[in-house]
Amino acid sequence: MRRFALGMMTSAALMAGLASQVQASSKDYSKSTKTDLVTKIMGNKSYQVYSSLKLEEVTKKVKTKTKEKKKYTVKKKVAVKKKSKKGKTKYKTVKQVKYKWVTKTAYKNVKKKWKFGKKLTVSADFRYAHVQSKSYKVKDGKRYYYIYVNGRPVGYVNEKAFALSKANVVSQVSLVNNPSDSVGFNAEDAINYVTDQHGSLVDNDSVEISCKSAELNISDTGYVSSRKAGTAVLTFKYGKAKATSKLTVRGDAKEGISSADVTPVKTDLPEITTWSARDGARLSSSSTITSKDAVSSSHKYWATKTMSGNAKGADIETIFYHPAVLSAPGSSNLEAKVSSAVQGIDFYDNDLVTSNLDLGQADNWEARGHMVYYNMRKVKKYNWQLIPSKMLSFNTWLSYIKNIKVSPYMKLGHGQSVGSTKKYVYVLANWNRSNNWSNSQELIRVKKSTMEIDKIWTFKVWNGSAKYPRIFLNADVIDDNTLLALFHNAYKHCYEYWKISRSGDSFKAKEVGATGSDLISNSAEVQGFVWNSAYDVYYIAFNDYLFKIGAGLDGKTDAGKLLNYYKFDTGRREFEGLSSYGPELYVNLNHPTETLKVNHITK
């Protein structure tokens, strides 16, 4: 099998690497050993982080006695015996060499000693950050890696601070019974992370995955079919890292079959068009590394047109500028790079969660990226742009880092179907180029406390049969058992609203409204969808447009009725996600990435 072969190849490469380390055992490690830039997964143990690590020559001040010869003339009368008529003694002066002991201070090299720099903090402060490294030093046989945290260079930490040879996977996966699913479940989706013996993130394709089951099997490409019921134990292995996941294909093949029988509410909209990314959106800003890159003023955009004719019926105003990146310079591979290309957002109280994909990845079938959590109680509107730089003092920067969590590299799909509750974040990871196929839809649940996936479900929604599927590219999770989803029925020129309810691991779907219009006539893509519980309305976003539609879920509005729309001029900045909490409404704009609050929405 391909995965087994990859595992064997990786093991061979590993043995070669170990052999090279043995051969290089006599190497002088006083200088850094460079590696590829890799993602490091922090473990549960906490170690000190130091600003520097140097091998220095230690000198000691000692006193030594040395003998020096000094010549000097002594005027000494030395008798000289000579015959003299008068019988007198004659004298002469002679030179004599004298020696004396002198004490002289000397400096002598005693030995070499490792010296740590300033104690910065402990590794536990980076447990949920995005940590990377590309060099290490060896002290007393132990590796100390120089780490980057959320893009900022920090210092050295013992590699025991990392999760060494660990596999973290979703414990349970529950798949809908779908006889028409032509793809199946990608077992890699269940991986949070797998690390090597040094705590470096291993590429998912290098992980050996096996399936033990009487009814199910895994393909050579790593997919498990959901066409028939059964259970399986998936085993994930790389080196000494190993973990298992229980997978179940539910028994009811009729689960998710419903009826799209709601009569769409007609609208009197004129023909409205807007632009899409393909027409040329504003270019993305570069990574923030200096204060010159940071935006220091808020944006405010007033609606220039509404259905009611009120030219200032709403405005959107900046509340938060996102960091441009949360990864180190040179993060070229997708697992390592935490981009600011936000596709979706969700608020719950003061918690903000974003789905971040690298540019262009949202259109990929297996689109993966990172989710980022922000504690908005601590957010500064402008300063957080500087997190990947060293423009902030370390203590200020650290106070920000403690209020950010970055998920492992995970499947996100288009990334705009994001919702959250008090404990969990949910993402409906659908491909936005799926062309309404009859395959299953994947709902991923992430624990806010760790930002790691803890459960995966799939479900399907069909109008009578697999011939008329409903694939949702935009959805809003409103509680731990319910999501509301938007479907554009291009054939009937209407938008359908569906309520999907979960009971245990099973899902039921019901159409709860429909609007008889394409809203935007030139097929521009939906850029956000949300239900506002305070006013019982849906908001649908397109670039530069917001549509307000009655939901009828609480009886406050008529389901599917267009209530208003708002036209903004953002200078071709893409709308990327909507969110609502209580009466408040939020929108995200890219280039640069910022979250804005919607004000003065007229009823």
Q: What secondary structure does DSSP assign to 396-413, as a single string?
A: HHHHHHTTEEEPPSEE-T
Where does a domain end: 193, 220, 247? 247
**CATH code at position 373:** 2.120.10
Q: How far is CA 475 from the centre of its chain?
A: 22
d(CA 594, CA 398): 22
Specify the pLDDT at position 25: 39
| In the predicted structure, residue 340 carries a pLDDT above the cut 80 | yes
508-533 pLDDT, tens digit per residue, is 999 999 999 999 999 889 999 999 99
d(CA 266, CA 418): 29
**pLDDT band at 477; cut points 50, 70, 90:** very high
Q: What is the mean pLDDT of residues 485-499?
A: 96
Q: Which residue has the tokens 């015996």?
A: 81
d(CA 577, CA 344): 4
**Does residue 387 share a domain with residue 455?**
yes
Residue pair 443/458 in contact by the 8 Å Cβ criterion: yes
Span of 65-74, 105-114, 334-343, 428-437 with lowest mean pLDDT? 65-74
**Does residue 544 share a domain with residue 590?**
yes
- Residue 4 has what DSSP assignment? H
**Does residue 320 share a domain with residue 214?**
no
**Does residue 275 share a domain with residue 203?**
no
Beta strands 172-175 and 452-459, pairing class: parallel
Span of 88-92, 259-263, 383-387 with lowest mean pLDDT? 88-92
Query: Considering the chain, what is the average pLDDT of its residues?
Result: 87
Nearest to 161 by CA among 53, 48, 39, 32: 48
**pLDDT band at 86; cut points 50, 70, 90:** low
Specify the pLDDT at position 70: 58
d(CA 399, CA 208): 39
**pLDDT band at 8; cut points 50, 70, 90:** very low
| In the predicted structure, residue 140 carries a pLDDT above the cut 60 | yes
| In the predicted structure, residue 602 carries a pLDDT above the cut 80 | no
Q: How far is CA 590 from the centre of its chain?
A: 17
Question: Cβ atoms within 10 A of the Cβ of 434, count?
Answer: 16
d(CA 501, CA 221): 32
- Residue 201 has what DSSP assignment? B
Name the amino acid, one letter, at 572.
Answer: R
| In the predicted structure, residue 286 carries a pLDDT above the cut 50 | no
Specify the pLDDT at position 58: 74
| In the predicted structure, residue 473 carries a pLDDT above the cut 70 | yes
Specify the pLDDT at position 9: 39
Q: What share of the chain is helix, strand, coil (3-state, %, to 5)?
A: 10, 45, 45
Residue pair 117/50 in contact by the 8 Å Cβ criterion: yes
Is 193 inside any structural domain? yes
User: Cis bond leading into 592, ω under 30°?
Assistant: yes
Where does a domain end: 199, 223, 247? 247
The pLDDT > 90 percentage for the chain reads 72
d(CA 519, CA 466): 27
**Does residue 456 share a domain with residue 574?**
yes
Q: Which residue has the higher pLDDT, 310 or 182?
A: 182
Residue pair 592/285 in contact by the 8 Å Cβ criterion: yes
Phi then psi for residue 415, to 5 deg, are 85, 0
Nearest to 537 by CA among 518, 519, 511, 555: 555
**Does residue 547 share a domain with residue 468?**
yes
Nearest to 355 by CA among 576, 571, 43: 576
| In the predicted structure, residue 160 carries a pLDDT above the cut 70 | yes
Give CA separation, 64 vs 59, 104, 451, in Å: 15, 6, 64
**Does residue 278 share a domain with residue 189?**
no
Specify the pLDDT at position 55: 87
Query: How many independent structural domains does the chain possess?
Result: 2
Residue pair 201/207 in contact by the 8 Å Cβ criterion: no
192-249 pLDDT, tens digit per residue, is 999 999 999 999 999 999 999 999 999 999 999 999 999 999 999 999 999 999 999 9
Question: Cβ atoms within 10 A of the Cβ of 142, count?
Answer: 11
Is 50 inside any structural domain? no
Specify the pLDDT at position 14: 40
Task: Please give the residue range of the domain that contains residue 359.
Answer: 255-284+315-597
Q: What is the mean pLDDT of residues 170-190?
A: 96
**pLDDT band at 307; cut points 50, 70, 90:** confident
Is 149 inside any structural domain? no
Specify the pLDDT at position 232: 97
**Does residue 368 share a domain with residue 224?**
no
370-386 pLDDT, tens digit per residue, is 999 999 998 889 999 99
**Residue-wise burial string across 364-399, b where 16 or more C-beta atoms lie within 10 A, e elsewhere:** beebbbbbbbbeeeebebebbbbbbbebbeeeebbe
Is 49 inside any structural domain? no
**Does residue 266 share a domain with residue 219?**
no
Specify the pLDDT at position 78: 66
d(CA 437, CA 419): 23
Q: Which residue has the higher pLDDT, 126 or 291?
A: 126
Specify the pLDDT at position 15: 40
Is 402 inside any structural domain? yes
Is 209 inside any structural domain? yes
- Residue 32 has what DSSP assignment? P
**Does residue 566 share a domain with residue 543?**
yes
| In the predicted structure, residue 13 carries a pLDDT above the cut 80 | no
| In the predicted structure, residue 61 carries a pLDDT above the cut 70 | no
**Does residue 401 share a domain with residue 434?**
yes
Specify the pLDDT at position 60: 65
Q: Which residue has the higher pLDDT, 21 or 319?
A: 319
**Does residue 520 share a domain with residue 553?**
yes
**pLDDT band at 591; cut points 50, 70, 90:** confident
Specify the pLDDT at position 341: 87
| In the predicted structure, residue 63 carries a pLDDT above the cut 60 | no
**pLDDT band at 72; cut points 50, 70, 90:** low
**pLDDT band at 65; cut points 50, 70, 90:** low
Phi then psi for residue 161, to 5 deg, are -70, -15
Is 11 inside any structural domain? no
Name the amino acid, one letter, at 603.
Answer: K
Residue pair 412/355 in contact by the 8 Å Cβ criterion: yes
Is 482 inside any structural domain? yes
Specify the pLDDT at position 293: 72
| In the predicted structure, residue 280 carries a pLDDT above the cut 50 | yes
d(CA 339, CA 353): 14
| In the predicted structure, residue 109 carries a pLDDT above the cut 80 | no
Q: What is the mean pLDDT of residues 76-97?
A: 65
Specify the pLDDT at position 251: 97
